[in-house]
Structure 1
Amino acid sequence: MGLLNDLKDKVLIADGAMGTILYSEGQNTCPEEYNLTHPEKIEKIHRSYIESGADIIQTNTYGANYEKLKVFGLEHEVKHIHTAAVEIARKAAGENTYILGTVGGFRTNKKEDYSLESILYHSDIQIDALVSNGVDAILFETYYDFDELIAIVKHTKKHYDIPVIAQLTAPNTKSLYNGYLINEALKKLVEAGADVVGLNCHHGPHHMKEAFKHIELPEGAFLSCYPNSSMLDFEDNEFHYSENASYFGDIADMLVQEGIRLVGGCCGTTPDHIRQIYNHVHGKKPVTNKKVIPYEEIRSASQKKATSLKDLVLESKTVIVELDTPKHLETEKFFKGVDALTKRNVDAVTIADNSLAQARISNIVAAGMIKEKYDIRVLAHIACRDRNLIGLQSDLMGLSLLGVTDILAITGDPSKIGHFPGATSVYDVNSKGLTQVIKQFNNGMNMNGESLKVKTDFTVAGALNSNARRLDAVVKQLHKKKEAGMDYFITQPVFDASRVKEIYDATRELDMPVFIGVMPITSYNNAAFIHNEIPGIKLSEELLNAFYEVRDDREATKALTFKYCEALIDEVYKYFNGLYIITPFLKYDLSIHLVDYAKSIEESLNSKGEII
């Protein structure tokens, strides 16, 4: 009859986990290698599932792609492992059991680790080996990234005449990691050509049941579900799942009532779990209509959205000043600086996030105190170095509560360049990944796709490397940052006025606001340090020599600093609305002088933006 014909009027039972059994028996290497080294063991596991009532088994190929096999030095055995897997499954199955050729996903939350082109290339090797050896259908399982799964489904349906089962892995019962509602994502998979769509892994049976309450019966396709046996637990330094086969069977019955036609097991499941599914659902007729519970709506923030820095800089000259928190607990000078900037009507004070991997007072705590005591906007830098995805999201929620909605998303300097040997860098995501998280917050969902109940109002700035040798390469990165959702850019400090025009010419195609960084130099030693020890920044010989000539004269040094900074500001205001003044060593008097100068220039501009 064929798998799809059987699913029209039957509920079919699939097998459970392969790795769970192998690990329980002491296997501690690549499970897929067992197709070559211990085929009899794999066949025995297949037979145990069939004897427990499974109508369908899957090949032992979930992790048999090039990248995962490379960890074990088996990357050149992809075809052999798949060929052996199908042969073993066929030997176990006989004539009355369907064989699914299993292909697992590549991506997790770091999408940039694998391009879709690379994924399609390596997955096609697997698919071709499985189809050539006669599987009844292809099962794509445990796909965290929707874009990856939909691309591989389209590719497979275009090149192979075989049924496709496409299963996503969702972090919660309503949406995917990218915020897509599961119901809508499954519809798109059907449109892409999938014959069976559903979920597997991450959740135990209860949460899978809750997820399918919101999922419609697809038109022209069927639903599948492979739950884990339970939530993962950690005890005695080991991860394990609950032994709950009877409960698993009870929930399987409820899954069928939610429209599931193909039900099996994922992590932690054993032949006992599949036997319980068989006892509860074998012979049951599939559901042909159901009542779907609609998803709750996410409301927008009740307060009126404040004008963002992006809005300001699009309309007029805008000045922001960086004032970093201290490396110690004496904060009087820092808050005096904030007070002085507030009185000068600076558009925002920006606070770095442990720049150069050096520990400072939390910029989020400082932002909260500034919001409470001063009437000035805060632009908070958020670095990916020091927080995992949990911490990043926690801090974003906190910033939203504080009313700090302007964010500079940066990857962050590696911890090894700082003063704390042995400190580690996290980098769960980079600046683009963090931006995508923030934009998902603006849609009312966290990284897991769970509802925040309220949408945030963040705007996101990105860093622009103004001192790179090749600005064309920088612009390519800026395009990617723009695609990730960044709203405007802020440059590193610029020390050469001619560079301002170069940045303008290179970035005008982006049609994005840019703040140009200007940083006062405090002494010749400071200039020499910047030139020789900060990677990527070189001062001109002319500027270095000028500071050398006045190295012993404090007032002359200050006058020189103002002279070159004012020349830079003149040039910035010819081409850009955004000025970013970086305060060195909490010497906010230098920044105040430049703010006053910028304000005077702004007042002297005519309506065409030309200096009078």
Structure 2
Amino acid sequence: MTNLRDSLKNNVLIADGAIGTLLKQHDHTHGHGPSIDALNLSQPDQIRDYHLAYLRAGADVIQTNTYGANTLKLARYGLEKDIVAINQAGVRLAKEAIKIHGRGFLLGNIGGINAEYVPVHLRSTSLDDIQKVFREQLYLLLLEGVDGLLLETYYDLEELKTVLKIAREVTDIPIIANVSIHEVGILQNGTRLDIALQELADLGADVVGVNCQLGPYHMIKALEGVPILTNASLAVYPNASLPTVEDGEIIYQTEPSYFKKYAERFRLQGAHLIGGCCGTTPAHIANLRKGLESTTPVDTKVVIPLPDEVVFTKPKKFRGKRLVDKVLTETTVLVELDPPRTLNTETFFKGVQALYNQGTDAVTISDNSLASPRISNLALAALIKERYNHSPLIHITTRDHNLVGLHAHVMGLHKLGIHDLLAITGDPTKVGDFPGASSVFDLRSVELVQLIKRYNDGLSYSGKSLGEKANFNVAAAFNPNIKKLQQAYKIIQRKIDYGADYFITQPVYDVETVHQLADMLNEHNITTPFFIGVMPLLSSRNAEFLHNEVPGIRLSDEVRDRMKQADLDNRSLEVGLEISKEIIDAILERFNGIYIITPFQRYEVSLELLHYAKKTAPILK
């Protein structure tokens, strides 16, 4: 083998596996310690030995230990100033291993920045910033001298295409460009794998392929839909297996001998470069070498094509007027009811029926408010649909549901015909009945909004077709009880950018706050509808608890003093309703949306405020 480009074109080469896996297995990372890339400086002998182990196991190609050695990732550990030394050492150590072994090619490894596909307008790291740090690391690796470049673990196709163009413009050495996928045959943005790989080949990548996330079985399934390309070769770097967790550590349990069964199958799918990703060791690579029956690439294969176009079932037409449309032209009142803490639902359903009879535009059902366990709002929503033929608005927290659970929850709501959702983070578990309970937070609330809106395109979070388009309108939460309300428009605009159709606020207890919020929205030309929260006070004790112990709620001194005096005069509920009606009056001057929050399932209190709001509201606005 004379040079890497010719070798990749004319042979099937075996690549190395994971460096990070070996370091963690032998505790060289000291738990969650420093950047793995920084170990090039602190543990050079170990890094060199691992490179050598892969070469001796049969690898023709190894990669530098520089996957995360860019300014952005190193900054997480305070190591950005060491970027030059880390990358230089990464190349030097790999070269030393190749020299000791006597043969082998070296790829300079540059990993993806975005861990997932992110639309351009939602990126926390801009493409301009990504290009800047990529150029910096690219030049460092090129100056040290590598045989080729490995761009790997890119979930975001646009990011990979952007950096590939840069690399191709400045160097003519071979480039391997690997995407990562959650679902077989499709990227997270919905692009088919075969189309994505052809796009990368057309941009000048010598080798295109897939790495990480999936094990050998699913990698084979992914490659079955990819034809032999005329202008690039194929690469495949599977994980050792699907991961599991033991004692808080991610474990890959596949026996290395399992890889032997797949080496030849990868070759027959057209792969010219076969290696390993997370969980793989020199033993896995040795078995890939043993499993190859030939090192001659194939030039034909049977392709199992993916459908050219997914045909979606259209969403059912919504009967009546949607909340987000109604609130634009007329006063619209939502009323929140907490699900019961016990299995006794009699009072809850009496309240639901009374509120709809009184003319509420929707009952909303919280999701374990104040982090206290209650009956599933999904179950209650289904019963409301069945009994009263009304569609409630459902809250979903990221606190209680992991990504798998969120998908299942939202799919279930779609099939129930419940199309209005409020995406929220949720109160911290420390305020609830089980303060030691874990919070999930796989997603931020804005990312949950984005996930739900992807259902309207018929796509899951991972880019997989759902076979049916949903018809969700998604509300986002907003807390107007903050000191710098005039600067909060950035928070609101960001949630709109993520797909929020309307907003529901925390309860307000100050008329001036209502007017300040309206002025701020007008100043910044924000026309997205708002439902302003109103929660009646029942006593001075209730007021003090809300003010001092409930996150996101603040009461003015005037309101707290009024409730203290009301307790003395035995007029607590009366004064609490007076305060709420004053807030409703202010809301009706500036907004069409009112959000009444029922205290302690006292739905008769919400009924009075609902009646007042409907009676007081102007006929036209």
With structure 2 as the length reference, what TM-score do the two structures score? 0.85
Equivalent residue for 2:539? 523
Are the counterparts in 1 of residues 201 and 208 from structure 2 also a CA contact under 8 Å? Answer: yes
1:425 paired with 2:435, answer: no
Amino acid at match of 1:88: L
Measured in 1, the distance between the counterparts of 2:301 and 2:396 equals 48
Following superposition of structure 1 onto structure 2, how do residues 126-525 of structure 1 map, counting pairs within 5 Å? 126-146=137-157, 148-157=159-168, 162-190=173-201, 194-216=205-227, 220-232=231-243, 239-245=251-257, 248-271=259-282, 273-274=284-285, 277-278=288-289, 280=292, 282-287=294-299, 291=303, 293-295=305-307, 297=310, 299-300=312-313, 303-306=316-319, 308-508=322-522, 509-525=525-541
CA contact (8 A) 1:67 1:75 kept: yes
Contact 1:10 1:286 (C-alpha < 8 Å) held by counterparts: no
* Residue deviations 1:36-92 (CA, integer Å, cap 9, x gap): 455455445444544555432211223445676678886654432321221232234
Say if 1:186 and 1:513 are closer, same or farther in 2 by CA, change over 3 A: farther
Instruction: Letter of the 1:516 partner, please give it.
Output: I
Task: Tell me, in whole angstroms, the C-alpha distance in 1 between the residues paired with 2:110 and 2:340.
Answer: 52
Aligned residues: 604
Task: Note if contact 2:51-2:97 (Cα within 8 Å) is conserved in structure 1.
Answer: yes
Q: Is the 8 A contact 1:55 1:98 kept in 2?
A: yes
* Cα distance in 2 between the residues matched to 1:167 and 1:62: 13
Distance change >3 Å, CA 539–CA 136, structure 1 → 2: same
Which deviations, in whole Å up to 9, do the C-alpha atoms of 1:298-352 show, x marking residues without a partner?
Answer: 5235643455322332353321111112333333222111110121231110111
Change (3 A) 1:463 1:184: farther
Cα offsets for 1:507-562 (capped at 9, x unmatched)? 242331211222222233333444444455444444444444433445x5444444
**Range that drifts further, 568-577 or 527-536:** 527-536
State whether residues 318 and 578 of structure 1, in contact with CA within 8 Å, keep that contact through their aligned partners in structure 2: yes
CA RMSD of aligned residues (A): 3.5
Deviates most, 53-62 or 37-46: 37-46
Cα distance in 1 for partners of 2:282, 2:486 equals 58
Structure 1 window deviating more from structure 2 (56-65 vs 134-143): it is 56-65
Checking the alignment, whether the CA contact within 8 Å between 2:367 and 2:376 is kept in structure 1 is yes
Q: Secondary structure at the match of 2:141?
A: helix
Pairwise CA distance, 1:215: 3.0
Question: What is the deviation of 1:414?
Answer: 1.5
Give the drift of 1:407: 0.8
How far residue 353 of structure 1 moved from its aligned partner, in angstroms, is: 1.4
Point out the more displaced range, 351-360 or 528-537: 528-537
Q: How far apart, CA to CA, are the structure 1 residues paired with 2:56 and 2:579?
A: 82
Matches of 1:205 and 1:532, distance apart in 2? 55
Say which of 56, 65, 82 aligns to 2:61: 56
Deviation, 1:456, is 2.8
Q: Could you give the per-residue CA deviations for residues 368-400 of structure 1, whole angstroms, max 9, x where no partner exists?
A: 222222232211111111222222222222322
Give the whole-Å Cα distance in 1 for the aligned partners of 2:284 and 2:546: 65
Verify the 8 A CA contact 1:174 1:211 in the aligned structure 2: yes
- Cα distance between partner residues in 1 of 2:518 and 2:209: 49
Hey, what's the Cα distance between the residues in 2 that align with 1:265 and 1:436? Answer: 33
Equivalence for 2:604: 589
With over 3 angstroms needed to count, the CA separation of the structure-2 counterparts of 1:184 and 1:598, relative to structure 1, is farther
* Greater Cα offset, 448-457 or 235-244: 235-244
Q: For 2:209 and 2:135, how far apart are their aligned partners in 1?
A: 22
Quick one: percent identity of the two aligned structures? 42
Say whether 1:83 aligns with 2:70. no
TM-score, length of structure 1 as denominator length: 0.86
SS at match of 2:149: strand
CA distance in 2, matches of 1:438, 1:190: 33
2: CA distance, partners of 1:574 / 1:181: 51
Kept after mapping to 2: 8 A contact 1:444/1:454: yes
SS in 1 for 2:400: coil
Partner Cα distance (1:157, 1:179) in 2: 26
Asked whether the 8 Å contact 2:15–2:276 carries over to 1, the reply is yes
Larger mean Cα displacement after TM superposition, 55-64 or 271-280: 271-280
Q: Report deviation, 1:463.
A: 0.6
Distance 1:264 1:97 in 2: 14
Q: Indicate the SS of the match to 1:267.
A: coil
Give the Cα separation in 1 of the matches to 2:284 and 2:14: 11
Give, in angstroms, the shift of residue 27 of structure 1: 4.6
Change in 2 beyond 3 A, CA 1:432/1:337:
same
Deviations 1:202-258 (A, max 9, x none): 22222111112223555744432112244446789983443344x535534333443
1:338 to 1:475, Cα distance in 2 relative to 1, 3 A: same
Aligned mates of 1:545, 1:343 — CA distance in 2: 35
**Alignment-mate amino acid for residue 436 of structure 2:** G
Name the stretch that deviates more: 568-577 or 27-36.
27-36
SS in 1 for 2:567: coil
Long gaps (5+) in structure 1: none
Cα distance in 1 for partners of 2:511, 2:24 equals 64
What's the offset of the Cα at 1:100? 0.5
Asked if structure 2 preserves the Cα contact closer than 8 Å seen for 1:165 and 1:195, the reply is yes
Secondary structure of 2:363's counterpart equals: strand
Instruction: Give me the whole-angstrom Cα distance separating, in 2, the residues matched to 1:384 and 1:50.
Output: 45
Q: Which SS does the other structure have where 2:488 is aligned?
A: helix
In the alignment, which of 106, 109, 115 is matched to residue 108 of structure 1? 115
Partner of 2:591: 576
Distance (Å, rounded) in 2 between the aligned partners of 1:83 and 1:303: 59
Inter-CA distance 276–546: structure 2 relative to 1 (3 Å threshold): closer
Once the two structures are superposed, what CA deviation does each residue of 1:560-583 show, in whole Å capped at 9, x if it has no partner?
444443343333233322221111
CA contact (8 A) 1:178 1:440 kept: no
Contact 2:153–2:179 (8 Å) recurs in 1: yes
